[in-house]
Amino acid sequence: MTSRTRPVAATAPPPSPDAELLAGRGIAYVSRSYRALDFRFRVQTDDVALGRYLDEIFAAFPIPADHCPVATYSLLDLGGGAELRYLLFCDDQHLLSAATPASQLDRLLWHINRRVVEVDRRHLLIHAAAAEWNGTGLVLPAPMESGKTTLVAGLVRAGLRYLTDETVAIDPARGLIDPYPRSLSVDSGSWETLHDLAPRLPEGVAPYRRHQWQVPPESIRPGAVAPPTRPGFVITPGYEQGAKSRLTPLRRSEAVSVLADNAFNFRAFGQRGLEVLGALVGNAQCFRLVVGDLDEACQLVAELLSDGNPDEEEQ
Amino acid sequence: MSDEGEIVAGGGTSVPRRRDDLAAIELDGDVVVYDAASDAMHIFNATAALVWQCLDGTASVEELGDELSAAFAADAATVRADVHAAIAVFAERGLLDTGETDLDEEVPATPGRAPAAPQVLAPAPST
């Protein structure tokens, strides 16, 4: 979704024939093929270390049975003589010429996420993080900069399983959250809080990291990715510096509104979208969560999960 | 009362009717209405939800007030005021069938565009 993700400042692509620019470049590494929801892709690059690193970043995505990608990204380095030496292509479309490798990687990840949302016709897609505990899903819808990734990272670190940090995919037919287990994109503002999740970058790859860590969920804990999960909680988080973390009940009607406000494709679903969200919250407990301290907030969620039975009096 | 055929919010003899093209669900007594044409979502509390359910185009505002006050054994004047207030809000938000035909082409879906901010009808239930 274009308005909720942050494109890297990009230089306008040159008007030269893209395919010719790409042709003839040395490709040293081709990644496995991956399926991110309904978007299938692979990455090729002239930098073997980068290629291996990307395979680590994407490792939680399933591999298509036929190993056949729909899109092939190419990351190329023109070398020291060129100011904008780092190039990114999607198939033969030139997406970016950048001065830094970090911009190149940021743009690749942003573009994949955008394509995941664009090509999906099956799911109701919500800008939210999600995690699972004992077969029950927690949907954490919120606008950008609300601390979704930090919260879900804390929850996974505390023992929950990971579904996504960015896009919750609701399968309307089954009423399940299908996992979109991309690597958690942890902003620098949360590095201190999540210091134990700092990725160990392979040699030669450090320049590709700038403002965000990419934390593969399996690096937090083996087996950390959940299967398709039925949602049982809707918790909309908001970070408030210095505040005492607290959970307050949210009316289901308001939860529907929050989910719709954060949906990428609600309008495309029309009336069916409201029915899907109604079914989701109809079986869920709904809350607002003020996050002042991450551990405190995770503890509140853990207590909520351990309570088990929905407290209808508070709804 | 206004010209014949026009719905005026709260007009006692008018017969308001919900638009047929709206999606609505009930949750814990509230009603959530989605207007796909304007991509707007509306949340109404239990009182307004009750009025909403009654707007099938068969009863006048005055009749609705009387029926609801009788059903809930509540003060007729208070209930009428609530009904008028709720219908005024529905009308203001364009949720009632005015008999007009909008020929404007619907704006195509844009990935990532969220519905308009929801609004909760303020008056507390008094029935």
Q: Which residues of A touch B113 (CB under 8 A)?
A: 3, 267
Q: Is the per-residue pLDDT at A5 higher than 70?
A: no
The token pair that represents A7 in the structure block: 């494109």
Are B110 and A261 in contact (CB < 8 Å)? Answer: no
pLDDT of residue A57: 95
Q: How many CB atoms lie within 10 A of CB B60?
A: 14
pLDDT at A73 over 60: yes
Which pLDDT does position A15 carry in this prediction? 44
> Three-state DSSP class for A12?
coil
Residue A314 has pLDDT above 50, yes or no: no
Six token digits for residue A40:
């299938």
pLDDT band at residue A27 using 50, 70 and 90 as cut-offs: confident
Asked if B64 and B54 touch (Cβ cutoff 8 Å), the reply is yes
Residue B106 pLDDT exceeds 80: no
Distance in Å from the first CA to the final CA of chain B: 26
A to B CB pairs, distance under 8 Å: 81
Asked if A126 is an interface residue toward chain B (Cβ–Cβ < 8 A), one would say no
Chain A's closest residue to B116, CA to CA, is A261
Q: How many residues does chain B have?
A: 127
pLDDT of A260 higher than 90: yes
Residue A277 has pLDDT above 90, yes or no: yes
- Nearest chain B Cα to A272, which residue? B23
Shortest CB distance from B112 goes to which of A252, A264, A278?
A264
Contacts of A158 (CB under 8 A, 6+ apart): A298, A302
For residue A82, pLDDT beyond 80: yes
- The pLDDT value given to residue A68: 78
Q: CB–CB of B69/B82 below 8 Å?
A: no
Within 8 A of A270 by CB-CB distance, chain B residues are 23, 36
CA geometry: angle A306, A309, A315, nearest 5 deg? 115
The percentage of chain B sitting over the pLDDT mark of 70, rounded to a whole number, equals 68
| pLDDT tens digits along A201-232 | 888 898 888 788 999 999 999 999 999 999 99
Q: What is the mean pLDDT of residues B14-24?
A: 92
CB within 8 Å: B23 and A275:
yes
d(CA A138, CA B88) in angstroms, rounded, equals 38
Q: Among A306, A307, A309, which residue's Cα sits nearest to residue A159?
A: A306
pTM, two decimals, is 0.83
Asked whether the predicted pLDDT for residue A164 surpasses 60, the reply is: yes
Contacts of A4 in chain B (CB under 8 A): 112
Q: What average pLDDT does this structure show over A262-271?
A: 92
* E strand intervals along chain A: 29-30, 34-36, 39-45, 71-77, 86-90, 93-98, 124-133, 136-141, 161-164, 167-171, 176-178, 184-187, 212-215, 230-239, 246-249, 285-291
Cβ–Cβ below 8 Å for A257 and B118: yes
Provide mean pLDDT across the span B98-111: 49
pLDDT of residue B100: 59
Range of weakest confidence among A149-158, A222-231, B37-46, B94-103 = B94-103
- Would you state the pLDDT for residue B99? 67
Tell me which residue of A2, A295, A1, A300 sits closest to A150, measured CA to CA: A295
Residues of A in contact with B37 (CB under 8 A): none
The two structure tokens encoding residue A308: 């088990």
**d(C-alpha A167, C-alpha B112), whole Å:** 11
pLDDT tier at B116, thresholds 50, 70, 90: very low
The answer to whether the CB of A117 falls within 8 A of the CB of A265 is: yes
Which tops the pLDDT comparison, B47 or B127? Answer: B47
What per-residue confidence (pLDDT) applies to A238? 94
pLDDT higher than 50, residue B112:
no
**CA-based nearest distance A239→chain B, Å:** 21
Q: CA–CA separation, A109 vs B9, rounded Å?
A: 52
Strand partners, A177: A170, A229
The answer to whether A8 touches B118, Cβ cutoff 8 Å, is no
Q: Which tokens hold the place of A186? A: 């942890």
List the single best residue of A127, A258, A267 to mutate versus B (max B Cβ within 10 A): A267
Determine phi and psi for A243, rounding to 5 degrees: -75, 155
Strands A124-133 and A136-141 come out as antiparallel
Q: Averaged over A120-129, what is the pLDDT? A: 96
Amino acid A223: pLDDT: 95
Pick A118's closest partner by Cβ from B25, B34, B111: B111
Rounded Cα–Cα distance for residues B28 and A252 (Å): 7
- Whether B53 and B45 have beta carbons less than 8 Å apart is answered as no
Distance, CA of A209 to CA of A41 (rounded, Å): 22
Helix (H) or strand (E) run with residue A272 in it: helix A271-282
Closest residue in chain B to residue A263, using alpha carbons only: B114
Distance from CA of B39 to the nearest CA of A (A): 7
pLDDT computed for residue B105 by the predictor: 45
Does the pLDDT value for residue A270 go beyond 90?
no
Give the per-residue pLDDT at A66.
80
Contact B43 A268 (CB under 8 A): no
Chain B closest CA to A35's CA: distance in Å? 21
Is the pLDDT confidence value at B104 over 70?
A: no
Asked if A275 and B31 come within 8 Å (Cβ–Cβ), the reply is no
Q: Which residue has the tokens 């954060």?
A: A262
Residues 34-53 of B with CB under 8 A from A: 34, 36, 39, 41, 43
Least confident of A125-134, A243-252, B99-108, B113-122: B113-122
Q: Kindly indicate whether the ipTM for this predicted assembly is greater than 0.90, answering yes or no.
A: no
Q: Does residue A262 or residue A314 have the better pLDDT?
A: A262
- Minimum distance, in Å, between the CA of residue A216 and any CA atom of chain B: 26
Using CA coordinates, name the residue in chain B closest to A271. Answer: B23
Average pLDDT over residues A180-196: 95
For an interface test with B, the pick among A115, A121, A253 (most B C-beta atoms closer than 10 Å) comes out as A253
Q: Checking DSSP bridges between strand A161-164 and strand A124-133, what pairing results, if any?
A: antiparallel
**B99 close to A (CB below 8 A):** no
Q: Decide which of A125 and B74 is more confident.
A: A125
